[in-house]
Amino acid sequence: MLQPRYCSVTSGRTKALPFHPSRPLAHGCLPTACSVYRKMSKSQQPIHGQVAASAQGVATEPQIASSVVTQEARRAVFEPAKEQYPEAEALVISGRLPSWLSGSLLLNGCGDYRGGMRHLFDGFACLTRVRLDGGRGSATASQRFLESDAYRSFRRTGRLKYREFATPVPAEGPVGRAMAVAGNLVTLMSGGRAFTDNASVSLTPLPGGRLLALSEARSATFLVDPVSLATLQHVSYSDVRHAGTTSPSPSSSWSPPAAPAGAKDTVPGDLTTAHPKVAPDGQTLVNFARTLPYGGYHVYLQDPVTLARREIAFIRDRDPLSPCWVHDMALSRRHLVIVEPPLFMSLPSLVLGRPRPFVFMDWRPAAGTRVHVVALDGSGVVTHTAPPLFTFHFANAFERPATAPPPGSSNTGGGGSASEICVDFSVYDDPEILNDLSLERLQDFPGKDISPSRLRRLLIPLTDAAGRPVGPSSLAAPVPLLRDEDAYGNFIEFPAFNPRFRGLPYRYVYGTAAVRPTNMGNALARHDLAGGSSKLWHEPGGMPAEPIFVPRPGGTAEEDGVVLSVVTRPDGCSMLLVLDGGSWREVARVALPVGVPYRFHGAWVAEEGGDG
């Protein structure tokens, strides 16, 4: 039977060891045979394809049992991971891998929360690789910490060197705190590294067999080997140069404007996002950097080979001393959309280490939301206003003929040349989810119910019926996309879709969901935007990670592919779940030989020369 990594096995029985976050625990799930799933009672077995609508399309109440993530599963995702786990066999214990599915699932997240860390976003970066060979029906897995200065320093000293998201550098008494503050100010004024380089959030595949590991500080940028997971290079933009040439992708007529050959990267800013978007050419990255105080958003295009950045727009902060926190953004074929909630960073809190109501931030709903629409060709920015909301992550965005007149237009109906951007994303009423993700709340059992978030669409006018650009306007609140939001527990995070439909009209969104009561995402959902219905996959007591859609090579249907998600089982063991993108039924389960800690984001990299 699969034994949790923190368990000892005596006389065929499993005995849970006490959880001590201050020290590492034993690792290594033992995939010798999997009788756990077969021995489950019917009520314990996962829900496959739970549909939130009847065959006639009439919404019905889904029959979903309540579930709380087990204490064993919580221990498993928050205990310190082994520093390096070499590649080892992973067993396919249920179903079969599709023959075309060959490549690597590469994941980033936090693997060690020691050092007094307080929040889910604080832990040191740890990378996971699950390699699948569909032709042979085999799999392997490996894991390794990112070699950041923050992590190396912690290994040597047992103390934090930099402030992490919610955890300031520890200081002894008022004198120690004053010295820490003075050190921060000196570093900022001298241009040194004032922010952590702990790149624990995302992985972006690059040409030449490289990965870009990122977090929200510019200093947290590394190149990683996708096979060995070795940290190759810390990216310092001071020595990056432009190649001077660009070429359009065969699948797109769009190409980024070229900078002069040899020109230096001069984009300023110490903060960024860990969610670069892929431009219509399928290669160029789109992101922004932040300068503060008295700064704003420096939107740029980035060469995926040289990593040189070229600024295409600047958006000034509305409060020069208190910039807003933006985690992600949306990209259509021609525009980048930055949704700026009224969540304002407190710079004194960042420097002094004093907490605010939402970590180091303040919620000012009366200020409303700003929505910046940036033309990728560098021709300008239009800033709209919208009702207050909070968000982490976006699904897709696309442009279409407008179905209604833009706000303020004299036209009384849609049609003509009127156009709009549709932006689909996970929407919260407020940022309380940030507090829900404190380690104290996440480890509380059974804990406070997680804050609701809902799948919504924001409609942004581009042109009116005469084809004229629409200027700044007041947008309506985002509209619901699903008929029965209780069907997915009023919770969606890590929204994903078929990447072949990036920037295009589409139908299906995949994401984590909630079977309540629960204080963390504990299910996976497939949402049909055309039918307004949802299907769930849920294993009581377990916790799935971000779903990643892998399209079948040669497939034309949007749902033709599989969804991959690493799941922490109720017993604390880790497995890779493979779901059919259309039927939402299990295709396979792969028992992993290493316990996988909490994962944020990742990517699928197809085997070179393979099909999938």
pLDDT in tens, 107-131: 999 999 999 999 999 999 999 999 9
| Residue positions forming the annotated binding site | 275, 327, 393, 601
Q: What per-residue confidence (pLDDT) applies to 117?
A: 97
**Residue 443 falls inside a structural domain:** yes
CB of 532 within 8 A of CB of 483?
yes
Q: How far is Cα 175 from Cα 177, in angstroms, rounded to an integer? A: 5
Domain that holds residue 512: 7-238+365-606
Q: How far is Cα 255 from Cα 365, in angstroms, rounded to an integer? A: 39
Buried b (16+ CB within 10 A) or exposed e, 574-592: bbbbbbbbeebebbbbbbb
**Residue 250 falls inside a structural domain:** no
**Residue 490 falls inside a structural domain:** yes
Q: What per-residue confidence (pLDDT) applies to 351?
A: 83
For the chain, what is the domain count? 1
- pLDDT of residue 465 exceeding 50: yes
Cα dist from 208 to 212, 305, 497, 500, whole Å: 12, 8, 25, 21
Find all residues with CB under 8 Å of 542, minimum gap 6, and list them: 46, 69, 70, 73, 522, 567, 568, 569, 570
Q: What per-residue confidence (pLDDT) applies to 543?
A: 98
**Residue 455 falls inside a structural domain:** yes
**Residue 538 falls inside a structural domain:** yes
- pLDDT of residue 500 exceeding 90: yes
In this prediction, residues 573-599 reach a mean pLDDT of 98
- pLDDT of residue 19 exceeding 80: no
**Residue 600 falls inside a structural domain:** yes
**Residue 289 falls inside a structural domain:** no
**Residue 454 falls inside a structural domain:** yes
Model confidence band, residue 204 (pLDDT cutoffs 50, 70, 90): very high
What SS3 class is residue 238?
A: helix
Q: Greater confidence, 358 or 246?
A: 358
Q: What per-residue confidence (pLDDT) applies to 22?
A: 35
Q: How far is Cα 362 from Cα 369, in angstroms, rounded to an integer? A: 14
Q: How far is Cα 255 from Cα 181, in angstroms, rounded to an integer? A: 45
Q: What per-residue confidence (pLDDT) applies to 48?
A: 56
Burial class of residue 32 (count of CB atoms within 10 Å of its CB; 0-12, 13-18, 19+): exposed
Nearest to 455 by CA among 436, 478, 474, 432: 478
**488, HSE (Cβ side, Cα atoms, 13 Å):** 31
Model confidence band, residue 50 (pLDDT cutoffs 50, 70, 90): very low
| Residue positions forming the annotated binding site for Fe cation | 275, 327, 393, 601
Q: What per-residue confidence (pLDDT) applies to 545?
A: 99
**35, HSE (Cβ side, Cα atoms, 13 Å):** 4
* Token duo for residue 382: 């239009």
Nearest to 339 by CA among 303, 383, 300: 383
